Amino acid sequence: MADLATIAAYNPDEASTLELRGIDGAQLFNEDEGRTPMTISLLGEDSDVAVKARNSQTNRRIQQGPRAKLTAEGLNSDGAAYLAKLTVGWNITMGGEKAEFSQEAALKLYSNPKLAFIREQVAAFVEDRANFLRA
């Protein structure tokens, strides 16, 4: 039988922090005085926000009817929008300037094909329920 204590400790509606890694797998650090890790704060895929976002995207596609054309660009855009909704903050400083967080800025980040390695990390992080277990 499963350990039900882990279910009680699971809270995807409380943000967890992802420490970003570069293309080579090395940890990324801010260009600040303390060289702190670059991080993104995320909600889990079972969070209320995630469920609402997925349902909204699915409902939009259903309303388009059976002859609606799916495109790679549309699916890619939906994926970036979904991850942006799950992003609640970040700690990123480059060139001495702290990157201002907004959902719009997150959408731009996740839509940039040259930064796909960040989007991949974010997607894997939100899907891993263990990242949202609380002690």
Q: How many domains does the structure of the chain reveal?
A: 1
125 vs 8, higher pLDDT: 125
Token pair for residue 55? 């349902």
Buried b or exposed e, range 104-114, using 16+ CB within 10 angstroms: eebbebbbeee
The residue whose two tokens read 């970003």 is 20
- Write out the residue range of the structural domain in which residue 86 sits: 4-64+72-132
Q: Work out the mean pLDDT of the chain and round it to a whole number.
A: 91
Residue 129, pLDDT > 70, answer yes
- Alpha carbon distance 63, 86 (integer Å): 24
Provide mean pLDDT across the span 68-79. 87
Its pTM stands at: 0.88
Contact residues for 77 (Cβ-Cβ < 8 A; gap 6+): 111
* CB-based contact 93:31 (threshold 8 Å): yes
How sure is the predictor about 106, in pLDDT bands with cuts at 50, 70 and 90? Answer: very high
Cα Dmax for the chain: 55
* pLDDT per position as a tens digit, 46-71: 999 999 999 999 898 888 887 778 88
Q: What is the pLDDT of residue 83?
A: 98
How sure is the predictor about 92, in pLDDT bands with cuts at 50, 70 and 90? Answer: very high
